[in-house]
Amino acid sequence: MKITALPQFYRNVRRGTEIVSILSRYGLADWLSGSNIEFVKDQIKTREGEALARLTRETRIRLALTDLGPTFIKLGQLLSTRPDVVGVDLAEELKQLQANVPADPPEVIRALVEAELGEPIDEIFAQFSDVPIASASIGQVHRARLRSGQYVVVKVQHDGIERKVHEDLEVLAALAQLAEKLPEFAPYRPSATVAEMARTVRRELDFGREERNLQQFAALFKDDPTVRIPAPYTEYCTPRVLTMDLLEGKKLSEAEQLRTAGYDVEQIAHRGAEIYMEMIFVHGFFHADPHPGNILLLPGNVIGLLDFGMVGRLDERMREDIEEMLMAIVNQDVSLLTAVIMQMGDTPATLDERNLARDLADFVGQYAGQSLDQFDLSGCLNDMIEIIRRHQIHLAPPVALLIKTLVTLEGTAKLLNPQFSVLEVLQPFHRKMVMRRLSPMRQWRKMRRVVYEVEQLIGVLPRLTIDILEQVRTGKFDVHLEHRGLEPSVNRLVFGMITSALFLGSSLMLSQQVPPLLFPQNSFLGLYRLSILGLSGLIASVMLGLRLFWAINKSGHLDRRE
């Protein structure tokens, strides 16, 4: 842990102790799961009485996050969008996280709403239900009716949630710095991952962002009668209170009931996918959580979207990369797929590009024979994510979020139509994308950007060249070389020399019988007049030698030939 993190940790020592205690409990259960002592495995149990050690590792992680509280539940939900970091299995398990947070008392909610809106609640609303519709990690939702007669929902933050989240994030940042030192956690990049999740959680604490998201999506689909976005009431919105239209409709998960009620579920599945393709590949701004609970079916086969706290944004370059990636999979173009993945992600310095290409070739071969109407996009993307994670390539957060959205979208659409394929909907959009790339307007914008960058380079190049030449003239020009892996080798070399010297010195002390002596008068098992210092040094040198051998063997560089 860095020195700068210590004040944060001790400032929240009570919460920190609680977090460490829960993590230790689940860590012990994880260790017991690998033991062969059956009766011990049943000693640590969940609240429901189930033995933790007999559950899967992914389930234990989900339960640990649940016990840690709302902040960690929200972080787990965000990690479910990063299978490239935590793996597909854990990401799928974390999707089950539900924040059933107890609702705040009615008097607390009423006081908060009145403080935020600056008026008595009875003067703002003709009706305001004290019983919430739902209570999640950040806030709770109440049904209400404005004085104008319009039915609305009011989303209100939990009392003190900002302080709780701030404390938890500080403790988690300190723990992430400790985890950075452990080799088994290094591939997960704990500090960077926690920092990314913390930024997202803090943004969700500002309901003003969700209000702006609602306004932007409403503007994008204002002329589309098949989509309904809840309209926010700006005069009744603050960073802690969000008032918007109440949408009432049928749940998407009840496919048979929808058919009985006269809904065209196949057409709804196709239209829903088209809406998301338009969001992603036309606007570059998409609703990032299309699970059945966030989609309602309104009369007239109208699709209503809820919960715009999590959205994704893609710039033009990212959109093109995603398009190329999907089409490379369909067209079995391994070279293009490899190049696109390396361009989209943060590749490690030790990446074996040939090995990556071989894995991707096997991956493409598995899906080569599938027709578009039978193509398993979810399985395909999950398999590709596992390859990306295996090679320690870290995708940009918007790209990882988009892949998670596509997987969720296909699963949701198949609830309505089991034969549905997102790629069938994507094909027409791909033709539009190709035409858009070839359009004169796009080429003109690209040329302007290139000219601007070249102009900037020409502006600074003479000055930088003069600086370099001046450093060469005055002898201040340095070339810094970094020897990766040299420091551990030097340390081991010095460690080995010290061990050898100790062994030789101790052997000489034994042979010369340097006092003080062990068994100076009588022999024991044939041993007589042993130098105590020499014997101690000999034992120490043997232990140091074994320690050095273990370290070299663990690193895998004992007898490996490059």
* CA–CA distances in Å: residue 20 to residues 32, 42, 66, 350: 18, 22, 14, 34
Average pLDDT over residues 546-557: 74
* CA–CA distances in Å: residue 128 to residues 143, 236, 328, 464: 6, 13, 53, 66
113 within a domain of the structure (yes/no) = no
Separation between Cα atoms, residue 7 and residue 294, nearest integer Å:
41
pLDDT at residue 49, as a whole number: 59
How many domains does the chain contain in total?
3
- Residue 147 structure tokens: 């004085």
508 within a domain of the structure (yes/no) = yes
Domain end among 176, 203, 230: 203
Average pLDDT over residues 145-173: 88
Cβ neighbours of 215 (radius 10 Å): 15
One domain, residues 279 and 418:
yes
Using the 8-state DSSP alphabet, how is residue 283 labeled?
A: I
Task: Give percent above pLDDT 70 in the chain.
Answer: 83
- Range of lowest pLDDT (143-157, 203-217, 334-348, 363-377): 363-377
Main-chain dihedrals φ then ψ at residue 312, nearest 5 degrees: -120, 150
* CA–CA distances in Å: residue 297 to residues 232, 263, 264, 275, 541: 20, 9, 11, 14, 75
Main-chain dihedrals φ then ψ at residue 380, nearest 5 degrees: -60, -50
One domain, residues 273 and 343:
yes
Residue 236 has pLDDT above 60, yes or no: yes
Expressed as residue numbers, the domain containing 325 is 252-438
One domain, residues 262 and 199:
no
pLDDT at residue 1, as a whole number: 45
Separation between Cα atoms, residue 224 and residue 217, nearest integer Å:
11
Interval 414-473: pLDDT, tens: 888 887 877 778 777 767 766 776 677 777 877 888 888 888 888 888 888 888 888 888
CA angle 337, 340, 342 (to 5 degrees): 110
Average pLDDT over residues 549-562: 63
- Residue 219 structure tokens: 């503007």
More confident residue, 375 or 126: 126
pLDDT at residue 151, as a whole number: 93
158 within a domain of the structure (yes/no) = no
One domain, residues 49 and 189:
yes
153 within a domain of the structure (yes/no) = no
Interval 338-368: pLDDT, tens: 888 888 888 887 788 888 888 888 888 877 6
According to DSSP, the residues that pair with 518 across neighbouring strands are 530
pLDDT at residue 562, as a whole number: 46
Query: What mean pLDDT, rounded, does the chain reach?
Result: 80
One domain, residues 421 and 284:
yes
61 within a domain of the structure (yes/no) = yes
Q: Are strands 302-305 and 227-228 parallel, antiparallel or unpaired?
A: parallel
CA angle 343, 75, 10 (to 5 degrees): 115
One domain, residues 421 and 544:
no
211 within a domain of the structure (yes/no) = no
Interval 388-409: pLDDT, tens: 888 888 888 888 888 888 888 8
Taking the model in full, what pTM does it have? 0.70
Task: Give percent above pLDDT 90 in the chain.
Answer: 12
One domain, residues 198 and 299:
no
pLDDT at residue 129, as a whole number: 92
One domain, residues 372 and 265:
yes
Binned at pLDDT 50, 70 and 90, residue 268 comes out as confident
398 within a domain of the structure (yes/no) = yes
One domain, residues 385 and 274:
yes
Separation between Cα atoms, residue 225 and residue 231, nearest integer Å:
15
Helix runs in 347-478, H state only: 353-367, 377-390, 397-416, 422-438, 440-474
- Range of lowest pLDDT (9-13, 308-312, 354-358): 9-13
Binned at pLDDT 50, 70 and 90, residue 72 comes out as confident
Interval 468-527: pLDDT, tens: 888 888 877 777 766 656 667 777 788 888 888 888 888 888 888 888 887 777 766 667
One domain, residues 418 and 319:
yes
One domain, residues 372 and 500:
no
Asked if 144 and 155 count as a contact pair (C-beta separation under 8 A), the reply is: no
184 within a domain of the structure (yes/no) = yes
One domain, residues 365 and 491:
no
